[in-house]
């Protein structure tokens, strides 16, 4: 398919790998964070890291929306799912995310009506088809998925579908990046910027990273050649002493984003004062809630939920993985007690989670040649 096949060309990949090798300063160690879980998945699916010299280290960021949902929010969702008459809808990955007392899939096994949907539009369709039931959509995702939730809410309001509501867990990309940059744990040389979040917000919101922290950012596509080219662009910025936001994914990402989508987001959502992120803790103004104009569709106002903060299981080191402090295989339960079939932590649930990416594609610690 156009826009896909030409970005998986093996010969061009080898050429780019050679250019990356030539751009590396001998003896220097580079830490580059890929922010988005989609990039993590592509890197391990296509073996992109095997084409890199060992002193170019890829650090996996917090950009998998399933992985950053804290257990307390899962518990709140399960509490709503158990309410009489409720049809609880969510994306498939969320079904298996463990709460403190089981997952949504286990709630379904206990009798709750939990259904997987591919988009909030599907959830709205279920609400139209079941006017005597209450249909709740568990919304997750960054600014990429938030427009989908927002447009569905606009349709629900325009069509007066009173039995539809949304439990909003949408998060925003810039605050966690700033939190990571402020973290003393992590010393990064540059960022592979999230491609599809940027289709909505544009590349401009990342300008604070070179301006305030002196690190290059390259907004990248998701095919293997996209990622290799983006790494090369970061290394060239570092070699030339530049730091700026570059857009490798210009075939998709406009520098100023999708203005129509941003307008819809501003209408339907407002920022929460703070929100808890798994592994990163509470971050100010990092998540969205429904605006006053859409409060009638807010499931958190329609139902009472526990709203209790729940600590992660002690054995789980998702927090360190999400901050890039450890690699997935360095977690004590990786691949033994914690597998995609029986996950303990969220990073093992979604295919975009770093642990699942390592597990599914067999990327364990391995020796690579240091330049």
Can you tell me the distance from the alpha carbon of 256 to that of 244, in angstroms, rounded to the nearest whole number? Answer: 16
> Which of 3, 255, 282, 364 is close enough to bind other proteins by CB under 8 A?
3
Tell the smallest beta-carbon distance from residue 217 to other proteins (Å). Answer: 18
Provide, rounded to whole angstroms, the least separation between the CB of residue 252 and other proteins: 5
Burial class (CB in 10 A: 0-12, 13-18, 19+), 271: middle
Q: Which of residues 15-74 bind other proteins (CB under 8 A)?
A: 36-38, 41-42, 45, 63-66
Q: Round to whole Å and give the CA distance between 60 and 41.
A: 10
CA atoms lying within 13 Å on the CB side of residue 270? 8
Rounded to the nearest whole angstrom, what is the least distance from the CB of residue 125 to other proteins in the complex? 9
Report the DSSP beta bridge partners of residue 32: 58, 190
Q: For other proteins, give the closer residue by CB, 140 or 228.
A: 140
Asked whether the beta carbons of 215 and 188 are under 8 A apart, the reply is yes
Provide, rounded to whole angstroms, the least separation between the CB of residue 276 and other proteins.
Answer: 18
Residue 44 vs 275, nearer CB to other proteins: 44
CB-nearer residue toward other proteins: 43 or 283: 43
Indicate whether 222 belongs to the interface with other proteins (CB under 8 A): yes
> Considering the rule CB under 8 A, would residue 136 count as an interface residue with other proteins?
no
Between residues 176 and 351, which has the closer beta carbon with respect to other proteins?
Answer: 351
Strands 86-90 and 134-141: parallel
Judged by CB under 8 A, does residue 2 bind other proteins?
yes
x/- map, 188-217, other proteins, by CB under 8 A: ------x-xx-xx-----------------
Q: Does 340 bind other proteins (CB under 8 A)?
A: no
Distances (CA, A) of 27 to 53, 56, 214, 371: 11, 11, 21, 7
- Residues 6 or more apart whose CB falls under 8 angstroms from that of 250 comprise none
Is residue 253 close enough to count as binding other proteins by CB under 8 A? yes
Q: How far is CA 332 from CA 265, 289, 321, 337, in A?
A: 40, 36, 12, 9
**CB of residue 84 to other proteins, shortest distance in Å:** 27
By the rule CB under 8 A, 271 interacts with other proteins: no
Count of residues touching other proteins (by CB under 8 A)? 50
Indicate the residue among 59 and 117 with the shorter CB distance to other proteins: 117
Binding flag, residue 145, other proteins (CB under 8 A): yes
Q: Which stretch binds other proteins (CB under 8 A): 100-108, 143-151, 203-211, 270-278?
A: 143-151
Q: Please report where in the chains the tokens 């295989």 appear, as a residue.
A: 329
DSSP codes, 19-88: HHHHHSPTT--EEEEEEEHHHHHHHHHHTGGGGS-TTEEEEEEEE-TTTT--HHHHHHHHHHHTSTTEEE
Q: Find the shortest distance in angstroms from Cβ 64 to other proteins.
A: 7
CA torsion sign for 276, 277, 282, 287 is: negative
For position 142 contacting other proteins by CB under 8 A, the verdict is yes
Nearer to other proteins, 172 or 350 (CB): 350
Residues of the chain by 3-state class (helix, strand, coil), percent to 5: 40, 20, 40
Question: How far is 148 from 340, CA to CA, in rounded Å?
Answer: 27
Instruction: Give the span between the Cα atoms of 361 and 105, in whole angstroms.
Output: 25
Using CB under 8 A as the binding rule, whether residue 251 contacts other proteins is answered as yes
Which spans of this chain sit near other proteins (rule: CB under 8 A)? Answer: 1-4, 36-38, 41-42, 45, 63-66, 91-94, 116, 118-122, 140-142, 144-145, 147-149, 151, 194, 196-197, 199-200, 222, 251-254, 258, 260-261, 264, 350-352
């Amino acid at each position: 398919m156009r826009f896909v096949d030409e970005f998986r060309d093996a010969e061009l990949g080898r050429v780019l790998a050679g250019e990356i090798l030539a751009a590396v300063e001998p003896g220097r160690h580079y830490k580059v964070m890929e922010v988005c879980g989609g990039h993590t998945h592509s890197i391990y699916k296509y073996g992109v890291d095997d084409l890199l010299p060992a002193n170019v280290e890829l650090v996996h960021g917090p950009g998998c929306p399933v992985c950053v949902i804290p257990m307390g929010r899962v518990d709140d969702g399960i509490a709503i799912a158990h309410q009489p008459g409720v049809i609880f809808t969510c994306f498939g990955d969320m079904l298996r995310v463990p709460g403190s007392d089981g997952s949504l899939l286990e709630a379904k096994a206990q009798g709750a009506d939990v259904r997987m949907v591919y988009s909030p539009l599907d959830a709205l369709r279920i609400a139209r088809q079941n006017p005597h039931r209450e249909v709740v959509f568990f919304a997750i995702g960054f600014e990429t998925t938030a427009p989908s939730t927002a447009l569905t809410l606009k349709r629900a309001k325009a069509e007066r579908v009173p039995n539809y509501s949304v439990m909003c867990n949408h998060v925003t990309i810039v605050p966690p990046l700033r939190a990571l940059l402020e973290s003393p744990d992590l010393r990064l040389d540059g960022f592979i910027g999230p491609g599809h979040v940027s289709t909505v917000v544009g590349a401009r919101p990342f300008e604070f990273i070179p301006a305030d922290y002196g690190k290059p950012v390259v907004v990248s596509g998701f095919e293997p050649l996209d990622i290799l080219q983006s790494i090369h662009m970061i290394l060239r910025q570092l070699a030339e002493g530049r730091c700026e936001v570059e857009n490798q994914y210009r075939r998709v990402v406009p520098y100023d984003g999708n203005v129509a989508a941003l307008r819809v987001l501003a209408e339907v959502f407002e920022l929460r004062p703070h929100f808890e992120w798994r592994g990163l803790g509470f971050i100010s103004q990092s998540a969205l809630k429904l605006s006053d104009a859409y409060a009638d569709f807010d499931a958190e106002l329609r139902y009472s939920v526990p709203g209790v903060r729940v600590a992660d299981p002690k054995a789980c080191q998702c927090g360190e993985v999400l901050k890039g402090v450890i690699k997935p295989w360095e977690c004590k339960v990786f691949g033994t007690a914690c597998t995609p079939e029986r996950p303990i932590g969220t990073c093992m649930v979604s295919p975009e989670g770093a642990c699942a990416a390592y597990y599914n594609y067999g990327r364990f610690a391995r020796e690579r040649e240091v330049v």
